[in-house]
Structure 1
Amino acid sequence: MGLESEQQQQQQQQQQSSSCSSSSWNLRKQALIQDLSRKLNNGEGDLEAKIQAAKDIRKLAKSSVKTRSNFAVAGVVQPLVSMLSSTNLDAREASLLALLNLAVRNERNKVKIVASGAVPPLVELLTFQNGSLRELATAAILTLSASASNKPVIAASGAAPHLVQILSSGTVQGKVDAVTALYNLSTCTGNLTPLVAVGAVPPLLNLLKECKKYSKFAEKTTALLEILSNFVEGQAAISDSDGGILTIVETVEDGSLVSTEHAVGILLSLCQSCRSKYRELILKEGAIPGLLRLTAEGTPTAQERARTLLDLLRDSPSEKKLPSAVLESIVYDIATRVDGADKAAETAKRLLRDMVHRSMELSMSRIQVRAASCTPSEAPSA
């Protein structure tokens, strides 16, 4: 018992020592935060001292959400935002990196940074030839645009055209950040038309061609393209881009559940907008097999979109239909993927019955529509 009591006392002493050490560090950290804030807010202070203060803030802000909040309370955001407009590029970079770390996983700081006027100088940095500053600004726009209350301000700032340019000329990371930032801003409907006007569609299609179709990046890219496909200009840009429709068809075949849902939405939007123009273009790229698979394997939304699009693609007396053997082979392949080889035959029969039943329903519906539109004199005689 004596030994156990001694061990317990040692543990208590260690805990007390650790607690005291932690409390002492917190006090020193708080004093350091206040000191850095004073250096930044010293209007006549040495610029080099402010740059170093920004660098120190960047390092300390990595440690915890609480530290980031404490910095904001200490009043460092406004002077850091002011440094974004400095003629000294080192000052701009140091303040930008500090603000980025202050904004990470801190909603209040994101809102405070935008409210302090950070967006205009960040948009200016997006135009810089200095690739490092431009892409840091892209990362900042991405981070700040994740806040719902910031989106309207950033969307109205003119950032989108510059982000679109980065889709064509930035580094791989810059392109990823630009796509994600544009995706964040896509909920602001007023931001969509400028996106089309400055040519977002071709670079987005090129990025989709190059990336893995099942990646998160592809999901954001197809989501943006689906939004743009609701505009006449966007539809034309997709069909006019070299291999544009083919890229979307390939995404239907190889994408993730999210990507395929957006991709089939794009094709459906095209076909519904002008069936006579886009139907043959979609068929030419071999869309049928992927769409058939999607009716069995996609999300509920993707399945419904695929069925609707198949109806639009098939509904023509002059259409060259798939040979029955090819159709059966495709359906059997789908059935094997869905239920395995043991049950494939039974599942394939069910899928084919459903397709025939749906085709009969559509045919009857069209007959009823034509009959209802006939006048008595036009109605066929018995």
Structure 2
Amino acid sequence: MGSGKARWKISFHRSPSSSPSSSFSAEAPPEFLCPISRSLMADPVIVPSGDTFERRCIEACSALDFTPPTLSSSSSPPLLLIPNVALKNAILTWCDRSGLPRPAPPSAEAARAIVRRLMPPAPAAPDDPSPPPPPPPPLVALREGLKAPIGPDTPPPISVRTRRVNPNPRFSPPSSSASSSSYPSSSSFPSSEMAAGAAEETLTQETPTKAREAPEASPTASCDRLEEEILTQLKDSEPSEQEAAMASLRQATRESRERRLALCTPRLLAALRPMLLSRYAGVQVNAAAALVNLSLEAPNKVRIVRSGAVPPLVDVLKGGHPEARDHAAGALFSLALEEENRAAIGVLGAIEPLIQLFTRAPSSSSSSSSDAHRARRDAGTALYHLSVASTNQSKMARTPGAVKALLALATAPNSDAAALRRLALMVAGNLAGCADGRAALMDAGAVAALVGLMRDAAGTPEEEYCVAALYGMSKGSLRFRGAARAAGAEAVLMRVAEDSSGGRAGVRRQMARRTLRAMRGEDDDAAAAAAAAFGTEFDDDGSIVSEGLVSFRRRHQRDFGTAGGGGGGSNTTEF
């Protein structure tokens, strides 16, 4: 008991000049502690692997080129830091309820000192007193919302969501629970509460106006005024005022590219988050539609993800109003067009609800048939782009029931679902690019299903996607050989391999030949030689998309309007 009292005395009366959160780390839930500093996190961020760290600590690891022991180094995607708003609010709530001071982030120097203590000692160097090279520039700030442009000029927007909304707000069920994958360390706290708290904090702490360098700005000035009006209306707790504010934002973001760029500010994005979780249909639908409109501009896409908008979108997908769910699927599709966003969207839990929306037939409670089909197509296209990222392929493969549902949709006889079938096949082809995906596909009977589909799809796009998926599954798998022989794959693959027509048939033909060689157990030297003749590298664990099969992506962009760089496609359909 004596030692226990001493500990409490030391904890509660420690000088504030000491580490701001280490005093209470022994009593804190372990998920509130940074794995690097072992202290309460003041600014927790999620990395693409799904782990959460104190921002300054993981930035110090990046600057010092050090991989923390708790972080898997099997893959090295670009380090993207996503604010874990839910966990931050959970930590602050716990501190307030416990009567403890809120944690403060360590300084950059203190974080580097912590990381250096974890690093193995450097080998003895020759007598060279020269100082170490300066660290690389700090990572892009995420919390304050990207004050600099993210990319070069982009083409004009292709379409804007313009659906007319029922002016009478209806009560729609709130999200059932926060996604555990969205908030890895705080599943016991409702996401709506946390998002609202984060929005209030941002609205009160950030300065009300920004100096803009280009004063030619009659549109900019009008956007500033509109921003202030919307934020003022949102301070009112009346749902009618909130709905009017979201309707104004939706209308403004519908009008022009300049307005979408000017209105994608940290304060408005922070205000949108709790509106996405509103119990009132009018508020939720308008907020989701406004976010879709903002996401159409390339410079806004990364900014929106880094603002913390993905977790509320995931909650809307799970239990929002049907029309808001349609918009949420469109928003995630639009955000997934940006390569830098894909790992983050996967980490934040969007994959499972997107798969459910994509593969599940619409219910009687959903919106109209055309709207439901559009939402499913948006969800499927989002999954296609997410599955290009290697970090998401295993996540999809391990999602319970996902691969079986994709195959069921891919082989559905309904002719109205042809576009959805093609999307399901394309996602399956990407999943075949990783070991987990290949195993999941074969567990679900994909070989027999794809061979059966090829028998009825000669010369069609579906045949091309089936060959790609079979080719991916054939890599280094004895199990594939037996399954392919049992399904009679040799006959359909021989037909493709002997096709002498030009164009994309050359790609299909080469993949079919390599798959046949794998079925016959020919060695990797022959496959490598064939790859060299085909102008690609032989990679036994590569992605289908990275195998030089650019025609798949081009065809997909033409058929589904997903070209991110302009052209005539659209990433949402006008309605």
TM-score normalised by L of structure 2 = 0.44
Counterpart in the other structure of 2:341: 150
1:320-340, CA deviations, whole angstroms, 9 ceiling, x for partnerless residues? xxxxxxxxxxxxxxxxxxxxx
Which residue in the other structure is 2:515 paired with?
309
Q: What residue is the counterpart of 2:63 in the other structure?
A: none
Q: Relative contact order (alpha carbons < 8 A, sep ≥ 6): 1 or 2 greater?
A: 2
- Pick one of 58, 70, 76 that aligns with 2:250: 58
- Equivalent pair of 1:58/1:98 in contact (CA under 8 Å): yes
Matched AA of 1:77:
L
- Give the equivalent residue in structure 2 for 1:177: 378
Q: Which has the larger radius of gyration?
A: 1
More displaced 10-residue stretch of structure 1: 133-142 or 210-219: 210-219
CA contact 1:34–1:74 (8 Å) conserved in 2: no
Q: Which residue in 2 is equivalent to 1:264?
A: 467
Give the distance between the partners of 1:193 and 1:48, measured in 2 at CA.
44
1:127 alignment partner, SS class: helix
Instruction: Quickly say closer, same or farther: Cα 1:275–1:159, change in 2 above 3 A.
Output: closer
* Code of the aligned partner of 2:395: P
Deviations 1:273-308 (A, max 9, x none): 235422323426951464245464444432211223
Provide the residue aligned with 2:34 in structure 1: none
Q: How many residue pairs are counted as aligned between the two chains?
A: 286
Specify which structure has the higher proportion of helix.
1
- Asked whether the equivalents of residues 333 and 382 of structure 2 are also in contact (C-alpha less than 8 Å), the reply is yes
Shift in CA distance, 111/292, structure 1 to aligned 2, threshold 3 Å? closer
Alpha-carbon offset, residue 124 of structure 1: 1.0
- Say what the alpha-carbon RMSD is for the aligned residues: 3.3
Matched, 1:80 2:272: yes
Within 1, Cα distance between the matches of 2:309 and 2:284?
12
In the TM superposition, 1:290-305 aligns within 5 A as 290-294=495-499, 296-297=501-502, 298-305=504-511
Q: Structure 2: how far apart are the matches of 1:66 and 1:165?
A: 35
| Counterpart for residue 197 of structure 2 | none
Note if contact 2:447-2:483 (Cα within 8 Å) is conserved in structure 1. no
| Structure 2 CA distance for partners of 1:66 and 1:47, relative to 1, 3 Å | same
Q: CA deviation at 1:142?
A: 0.9
Are the counterparts in 1 of residues 239 and 280 from structure 2 also a CA contact under 8 Å?
Answer: no
Question: Structure 1 residues 204 and 255, CA, compared in 2 at 3 Å: closer, same or farther?
Answer: farther
**Residue matched to 1:347:** none
- CA apart distance, 1:225: 0.9
Map of 2:225 onto structure 1:
35
Identity of aligned pairs, percent?
22
Contact 2:481 2:518 in 1 (8 A): no
Q: Which amino acid in 2 is paired with 1:85?
A: L
Name the residue aligned to 2:426. Answer: 223
Write the letter of the residue equivalent to 1:37.
E
Sort the Cα spacing of 1:83 and 1:262 in 2 relative to 1 into closer, same or farther, 3 A: same
Q: Does 1:110 align with 2:301?
A: yes
1:190 positional shift: 2.6
Q: AA paired with 1:227?
A: N
- State which of 452, 458, 461 in structure 2 corresponds to 1:246: 452
Moved more, 87-96 or 120-129: 87-96
Provide structure 2 residue ranges, at least 5 long, that are not aligned to the other structure: 1-216, 363-371, 523-529, 531-575
Match of 1:133 in 2: 324
Give, in whole Å, the separation in 2 of the partners of 1:260 and 1:90: 44
| Cα offset, 1:130, TM superposition | 3.5
Residue 287 of structure 1 aligns to which amino acid in structure 2?
Answer: V
Distance 1:202 1:293, change over 3 A: farther
What TM-score does the superposition give when structure 1 sets the normalisation length? 0.65
1:280 equivalent to 2:471? Answer no
Name which of 217, 233, 253 aligns with 2:440. 233
Alignment pair present for 1:209 and 2:411 = yes
Which ranges of structure 1 fall in alignment gaps of 5 or more residues? 1-25, 317-357, 359-382
- Contact 2:387 / 2:427 at 8 angstroms: preserved in 1? yes
Task: Return the offset for 1:180.
Answer: 0.6
CA distance 1:122–1:315, change in 2 (3 Å): closer
Aligned equivalents of 1:68 and 1:83: distance in 2? 18
Q: Which moved more, 1:146-155 or 1:207-216?
A: 207-216
Structure 1 position 255 matched with structure 2 position 460:
yes
Secondary structure of the structure 2 residue equivalent to 1:254: coil
Shift in alpha-carbon separation, 1:255–1:132, aligned structure 2, 3 A: same
2:358–2:379 contact (8 Å) kept in structure 1: yes
Distance 2:513 2:416 in 1: 22
Once the two structures are superposed, residues 40-90 of structure 1 have per-residue CA deviations (whole angstroms, 9 ceiling, x without a partner) of 222633542332122122122222211211222595332123322334332
CA deviations over 1:167-219 (Å, ceiling 9, x no partner):
23243222211111111111332322232232222332233334779976555
Aligned mate of 2:401, from 179, 199, 202: 199
CA distance in 2, matches of 1:55, 1:100: 13
Q: Taking structure 1 as reference, are residues 60 and 302 closer, same or farther at Cα in structure 2, changes over 3 Å only?
A: same
